[in-house]
Amino acid sequence: MSFIKALFILFFLVLLQGISSVLDTGSNSNIAVYWGQGGSDSSLAEFCDDYPQVNVVLLSFVTKFSSTGGFPSMEIGTRKCNPFPGTNLGDCPQLGQEIKTCQAQGKTTMLSIGGATYTEGGFSSKSDAINSANTVWQTFGPNTPESQHRPFGDAVIDGFDFDLESPATNMPAFGNRLSELMNGQWDRDFYLTAAPQCPFPDNNVGDCGLNAFTNGAPTGFNFDQWDQWTREESVSKNVKVMVGAPGSQDVAPSSGYVDAGQLGEIFEYSKRFSSMGGVMVWDASHLQMNPGLLGSIKKLAEDVLGTVGRVLIGQMGCSYCCVFRLGFVIFGL
């Protein structure tokens, strides 16, 4: 994932089963960080210990929905995991323990699918998408009798993020099936997210493609357009939008990096919109090389964005998947 000059990512958040104490859907100062793609990453547990300000961690990435043996494959962090026999799916029990460590600290810990190396292009049919959703859920969601391989052992991730940087077909069927599975009789909330490109509208959509940030042409800071979309076009009128910031200059080589002072101005402008929901940072490894940035972001979020009132959270129907083309979307289920 890379950042264009707008520094803008969209984070839409809707809760369907009640407010979670982990990810506060009524707060305007949530902080989400991607973890797992930088060579200098500390362990996940160390990151969660060192950054109490972060309340959403997105593990990146599952690189294929369906690889050898019909199971997903993933490249997360620098630690190598031995694959389950007949698959490219790593068996990572230590990472599973660290996921539980982060969750015990009150962090919503999700799994991101895609990234710059994703090339599957979605699914050949709706039935293929549904079958893949079942496999992903059995692999990373709650342990069920249908589960075959559990890379994180008994750890259960809190949801899935789609960071697909090229058009992907039949994603609504995949997302709707995950929605159905997440909306079962569970004792916890689950979330779905997606990260299309920043420019409005996203011209790389395809079949409701979930397109993440890429090295697109620079655009202006267009929060007003996204806020209007949340009110007039979004399936849910309770969508929230988060401003995204690169963790260092290295991740935004095209003059996309801004310091805390400039972020303060962006937050001050954005807080006028009822859809404003907090801050996202890409990514953990760059954040760790930029001491002090996260503390500044947290203080700015609390001082500037904390003045915005809470929003009502409502329910959305099964047609929600098409909103993925317009933002980094989190749906609590």
Distance between CA atoms of residues 129 and 74, nearest Å:
18
49-56 mean pLDDT: 92
Within a 13 Å sphere around the CA of 34, how many CA atoms are in the beta-carbon half? 33
Average pLDDT, the chain: 76
For 48, other C-beta atoms within 10 Å of its C-beta total 25
Backbone angles phi, psi at 130, to 5 degrees: -65, -45
Give yes or no for residue 22 having a pLDDT over 90: no
Query: At 60, which amino acid appears?
Result: S
b/e map of 238-247 (b: 16 or more CB within 10 Å)?
A: bbbbbbbbbb
Q: In the prediction, which pLDDT does 330 show?
A: 41
Q: Which domains does the chain have, with CATH numbers?
A: 30-302+315-331 (3.20.20.80)
Distance between CA atoms of residues 110 and 159, nearest Å:
5
Q: In the prediction, which pLDDT does 266 show?
A: 82
Residue 220: burial class (beta carbons within 10 Å; 0-12, 13-18, 19+)? exposed
Of 41, 193, 206, 44, nearest to 113 (Cα)?
A: 193
Percentage of the residues of the chain whose pLDDT score is greater than 70: 72
Better-scored residue on pLDDT, 234 or 103? 103
Query: At 258, which amino acid appears?
Result: V
**Helix H or strand E segment including 159:** strand 159-164
Give yes or no for residue 106 having a pLDDT over 90: yes
Question: Which range, of 4-18, 22-36, 54-68, 282-296, averages the lowest pLDDT?
Answer: 4-18
Question: Which range, of 141-150, 163-172, 218-227, averages the lowest pLDDT?
Answer: 218-227
Distance between CA atoms of residues 274 and 255, nearest Å:
29
| pLDDT band of 119, cuts 50, 70, 90 | very high
Of 288, 39, 292, 324, nearest to 196 (Cα)?
A: 324
Per residue in 161-178, pLDDT (tens digit) is 888 888 889 988 998 899
Distance between CA atoms of residues 192 and 315, nearest Å:
14
193-209 mean pLDDT: 47
231-248 mean pLDDT: 74
| pLDDT band of 220, cuts 50, 70, 90 | low
Catalytic-labelled residue, pool 120, 146, 165, 233: 165
Q: In the prediction, which pLDDT does 199 show?
A: 55
| pLDDT band of 197, cuts 50, 70, 90 | low
Cα–Cα distances in angstroms (integers) from residue 333 to residues 8, 200, 240, in the given order: 25, 27, 15
Q: In the prediction, which pLDDT does 209 show?
A: 25
Give yes or no for residue 20 having a pLDDT over 50: no
Show Cβ contacts of residue 330 under 8 Å, excluding neighbours closer than 6 positions.
11, 12, 13, 14, 23, 159, 191, 192, 193
Better-scored residue on pLDDT, 302 or 37? 37
Q: In the prediction, which pLDDT does 237 show?
A: 67
**Helix H or strand E segment including 224:** helix 223-232
Q: Is 165 a catalytic residue?
A: yes
